[in-house]
Amino acid sequence: MKIHQPKIPDRLTPVQLQDLLHEEDSSLQNASIIDSRIDGQTIEHAQLTSMLIKNSSFQGAFLPELFATDVRFENCDFSNADLTGISIHRVSFHNCKMLGVNFTNARFTDVLFEECICSLSAFVHARWERVCFENCQVRDADFFDCKLKHTYFINCNLDSASFDETPLKGVEINTSEFKSITVSMKELDGCIVSSLQAIQFASMLGLDIRDE
């Protein structure tokens, strides 16, 4: 399944993240943002459309119900940001630090995480379609009660991730690695795994696997 990439114009107007604090409707579009930061700031219902955002920081920011369409983030830091209720479509994150981000009630469509650190993030009650994590650290992430449609974890570290009450039918994890994850056999039904992972899951069930 193809992930649709952000559609970004060739000509963008340079702006700063701080401009969101001064706009009445907290919206930016057809713009580029480089070397900007809004650490610890609160911006409700912000809207980002057709943008490139590079080398910028959102550490500890509170951005509830952020809406983003056709946005590319490069080398950005979202550590410990609260992104509750965000809705993002055709958005990509490249080499971003997303340690401990709160993605509760997120809605994603056509989203790519590439070479990102997403460990300890909470994707609780998330709903998404066509989402790919590629070469990402997703250790200790919480995917509680999620609806994941057309989801791919490619060459990721999923160690100690939790998929409690999240069906994994059709979710691809066969190229990723983990020592242990939290998931029930019912939720694992239909998940795409490697032969080695199948043995790991059998071991988690308590099976005593022996070859003659």
Per-residue model confidence as pLDDT tens digits over 110-163: 999 999 999 999 999 999 999 999 999 999 999 999 999 999 999 999 999 999
Per-residue pLDDT, 212: 61
Band of pLDDT at residue 211, cut at 50, 70 and 90: low
Provide the token pair at 32: 């580029």
Tens of pLDDT, residue by residue over 30-64, are: 999 999 999 999 999 999 999 999 999 999 999 99
CA dist., res. 129 & res. 148, Å (int): 6
Whether the Cβ atoms of residue 129 and residue 111 lie closer than 8 Å to each other: no
**Does the global pTM surpass 0.85?**
yes
Measured in whole angstroms, how far is the alpha carbon of residue 91 from the centre of its chain?
Answer: 10
Report how far residue 2's alpha carbon sits from residue 111's, in angstroms, rounded to the nearest whole number.
Answer: 11
As a whole number, the mean pLDDT across the chain is 93
Nearest to 133 by CA among 161, 160, 114: 114
Region 13-204: CATH code: 2.160.20.80
pLDDT at position 26 is: 86
Q: How confident is the model at residue 81 (pLDDT cuts 50, 70, 90)?
A: very high
User: What pLDDT, on the 0 to 100 scale, is given for residue 209?
Assistant: 56
Q: What is the pLDDT of residue 201?
A: 79
